Amino acid sequence: MRTPNRRVVTGVALATIGLTAAGFTIAGAQSDDSPRGTDPLSAAELDAAVAQAPGSGSGPAEAGGLGADDVVLLVERHDEEKGTSTDARRADVWVYSYDDDVLHQSVVDVTTGRVDSTRTVRNVQPPLVEEEADRAIEIALADTELSRQLATAYRQATGRDLTDLATDVIVEPIVFRADSNPATTGDARQCGRHRCAQLLMRSTDDLLVNLLPIIDLSAGTVVSRTGFFQ
Amino acid sequence: MSARLRRWGGILGVVLLVAAVPVATRTRSANADLGDCSAAYLVDEVLANGARWQMCWEPKTYKGVVLHNVTYTPVGGQPVEVLFEAYLAQIHVPYDNNGARFHDVSDYGLGGANFDTLVGDDCPNGTLLDDGGTDIICQTEAPTGYAAKDYDHVRQGTSLNLFSTSCIGAYCYVVSWNFDDDGTIRPEVGATGSLQLYGGTNRTGWQTGPDHFGTVAVAHMHNFYWKLDFDVDGTDNDRVEELEATFTPGSNRSQLTNTRRQLATESARRVSPTTFRSWRVRDTVTRNAENHPISWELVPGTDHIFRGPERFTQNEVYVTTQNTCEDFASHNPTTGGCGAQAAAYVNGEAVTDPVIWYGTSFHHLPRDEDEEHMHPHWSGFSIIPRDLTADNPSD
């Protein structure tokens, strides 16, 4: 099973925190003249913001502020309150702590390195980043029954046997919240309080693989193999 | 040209102000925010008839392309800000069989790595705009046909089109903005790509086999919601009015009475095709040469209406006062004291800085022609100037 080439990481996982530009690709990064106003943050500004990101640890990222189960979900220009100056270059930095299923939302002044505000919220589930997408796929593949159903769905879609998951199937995980679907049942009802992924899959020749499995990333389990609740 | 450009004030200061057509006869209010961005994120286009559109654009990870300080200059007129900010604020996709109910903008994201990288084939006759070296917007001036036809008086029109594309699962969305030379703004979304979900019977879909294992492609809605923060001639002095025409009592349905009603407090409103309901944001101070208040009017553009179990689907229009943390029409992060969805934003506040959330729906009943790759089906609406100029500026 492979992920589409276009799905490049939009956030950075703990493993790459502090390693600055290595593998750090965020749309909006600029390397030429200094950005201004409503311009997106430059690569240097993004790095500066991430370095200060508070998570479940005791300090900023560069000082070990992120916990082992923290994932950076978002780094981008902070929307200033309307009517205030956009001269300050400030970033929203969102870090999800899997330890206790909370999202840390910080505003970081990338010029001074100061963290202007931080709040911790529950039940807020922004889109997945690549590390989470990869983990969702790992959990799915470890489920024998889901693998069997996937092989059947693939055969139905393409008329071929599934020979190599890594090359035959494109998967695009999307965050799943139980309140998206009033019919949700079982352990999938935890999604929202927990962080969950739903897998959208198709063959490499663009035929739909008609399963929408739901993975509870917080619990590390498959909570629905089909994703259908009727 | 330096990437570190001037503020728009500088740009606008050199706009040719030829008073050939009477337009808004006022000086720009001192607090008008004319935007601040570098050349890389500035769109500044003079169309064939001489009208001009200017705006900053910003790529956001979840929202995709956000437009800032959208400003229009009619032919021979002065620049007037229309929108402080505008973007597509949700794509809600509930399937007829309830097999999935996606919220694509908030839960997947239109921007970041989900922007499709555009190439020349995506943008024939246009110019690609890049974000850090990746081409994500196509900018084109395209003909729109008649600007006017009055016997032998013929004028052709053009429009500035900006679009980006974002692929989410099997679907690709074309998020498009048309800025016409007459001051009309036409936001549109095209849904293309391929079908996402199969199963069940014709009761909840359409038989599109045998290509797909002889079964049924599930029908579904595409409910698109835009957030439009109007700043008609700047942030101050804006007011929302609902325009409508109803049969005149006692006229045996032979006469219509036109009404306009101010929405002074936040309101959830429904489209009403039988009474031709629309909404305009007018400036209470600035008037055109005929002493009429200038305004832009939102004209709905669909005959599909979806009212499902979600509260935000119960109305198509939410008039609110601007709040920075009200970001998405649904699945909004409930931080900063904001509600979770558009219906919750209507909580009795006075509308001092109008925002209109507008939703339009398309029920997609699949057909054989949707396989393997679908034609785009388009959803959109119009925002037209009402009394910006005293006459047709293109005459």
Chain A residues within an 8 Å CB radius of B59: 27-28, 40
- Which of B37, B111, B131 minimises the CB distance to A36? B37
Residues of chain B contacting A224 with CB distance shorter than 8 Å: none
Residues B325-342: tens digit of each pLDDT? 999 999 998 877 899 999
- pTM of structure: 0.88
Contact B4 A36 (CB under 8 A): yes
Interchain contact, B97 vs A230, CB within 8 Å: yes
- The DSSP bridge partners found for residue B364 are B220
- Taking 70 as the threshold, does the pLDDT of residue A16 lie above it? no
Q: Is residue A134 packed enough to be buried (19+ CB in 10 Å), middle (13-18) or exposed (0-12)?
A: middle
Cβ–Cβ of A212/B132 closer than 8 Å?
A: no
For residue A154, the 8-state DSSP code is H
Question: A84 to chain B: nearest residue by CA?
Answer: B33
Question: Who's near A61: CB < 8 A, 6+ residues apart?
Answer: A17, A18, A50, A51, A52, A53, A54, A55
Contact between A39 and B40 using a beta-carbon 8 Å cutoff: yes
The Cα B41–Cα B44 span in angstroms is 10
Classify residue B16 by its DSSP letter: -
The answer to whether the Cβ–Cβ distance between B97 and A77 falls below 8 Å is no
Picking from B342, B379, B358, the residue whose alpha carbon sits closest to that of residue B230 is B358
Question: Maximum CA pair distance of chain A?
Answer: 60
Q: What is the ipTM of this complex?
A: 0.87
CA-nearest of A230, A193, A195, A197 to A212 is A197
Residue B16 has pLDDT above 70, yes or no: no
Q: Do A180 and B2 touch (CB under 8 A)?
A: no
Q: How far is it, in rounded angstroms, from Cα A4 to Cα B117?
A: 13
Closest Cβ opposite residue A175 in set B107, B134, B198: B107
Residue A212 has pLDDT above 60, yes or no: yes
Helix H or strand E encompassing A43: helix A43-51
B177: left (phi over 0), alpha (psi -120 to 50) or beta: beta
The count of CB pairs under 8 A between chains A and B is 174
- Tell if the CB–CB gap between B115 and A175 is shorter than 8 Å: no
**Overall average pLDDT of the A151-178 stretch:** 89
Angstroms from A168 CA to nearest CA on chain B: 16
Q: What is the number of H-type helices and E-type strands within chain A?
A: 4, 9
pLDDT for res B99:
83
Q: Which of A28, A126, A181 sits opposite B100 (nearest CB)?
A: A181
How far is the C-alpha of B195 from the C-alpha of A210, rounded, in Å? 10
Nearest chain B CA: its distance from A127 CA (Å): 5
Weakest mean pLDDT among A112-121, B80-89, B114-123, B179-188: A112-121
Note whether A210 contacts B: Cβ–Cβ < 8 A.
Answer: yes
> Of B379, B375, B353, B357, which is closest to residue B366 (Cα–Cα)?
B375
**Which residue in the set B58, B113, B372 is minimally distant from A40, CB to CB?**
B58
- A8, with CB counted inside 10 A (0-12, 13-18, 19+), is middle
Terminal CA-to-CA distance of chain B, rounded, Å? 35
Cβ atoms of B84 and B33 within 8 Å: the answer is yes
Residue A110 confidence (pLDDT) above 90: yes
Judged by a CB distance cut-off of 8 A, whether residue A33 touches chain B is yes
In the predicted structure, residue A11 carries a pLDDT above the cut 70: no
Min Cα separation B180/chain A (Å): 24
Give one DSSP letter per residue of B104-119, joined into a string: HHHHT-SSGGGBPPP-
Q: What is the per-residue pLDDT for B369?
A: 92
Q: Answer whether A38 touches B (CB < 8 Å).
A: yes
Q: Residue A64 has what pLDDT?
A: 56
Q: With 70 as the cut, is the pLDDT of residue B29 above it? A: no
Band of residue A199 on the pLDDT scale cut at 50, 70, 90:
very high
pLDDT on residue B34: 58
Average pLDDT over residues B255-263: 98
pLDDT digits (tens, 9 = 90+) for B114-134: 999 999 999 999 999 999 999
Whether residue A194 lies within 8 A of chain B, CB to CB, comes out as no
Backbone angles phi, psi at A118, to 5 degrees: -145, 135
Strand residue runs (E) in A39-137: 70-77, 90-97, 102-109, 115-121
Tell if the CB–CB gap between B36 and A202 is shorter than 8 Å.
no
Q: Which residue has the higher pLDDT, A200 or B257?
A: B257
| A45, burial (CB in 10 Å: exposed 0-12, middle 13-18, buried 19+) | buried
Residues 20-39 of B with CB under 8 A from A: 35-38
Q: Given CB atoms, is B56 within the 8 Å cutoff of chain A?
A: yes
Sheet bearing A70-77, strands edge to edge = A70-77, A90-97, A102-109, A115-121
The per-residue pLDDT for A59 is 64
Chain A residues within 8 A of B113 when measuring between CB atoms: 6-10, 25, 27
* Residues B165, B65: Cα–Cα separation, whole Å: 10
Mean pLDDT of B85-101: 94
Average pLDDT over residues B332-357: 94
Tell whether the model's pLDDT for residue B26 goes beyond 50.
no
Q: How far apart are CA A82 and CA A59, in angstroms?
A: 30
At A88 the pLDDT is 87
Q: What is the pLDDT of residue A62?
A: 59
Which candidate in B7, B68, B107, B115 is best for mutational testing of the A interface (most A CBs within 10 A)?
A: B107
- The beta-carbon contacts of B5-9 under 8 Å, at least 24 apart in sequence, are B5/B37, B5/B38, B5/B39, B5/B42, B7/A37, B7/B34, B7/B35, B7/B36, B8/B34, B8/B35, B8/B36, B8/B54, B8/B56, B8/B69, B8/B71, B9/B34
Contact B372 A206 (CB under 8 A): yes
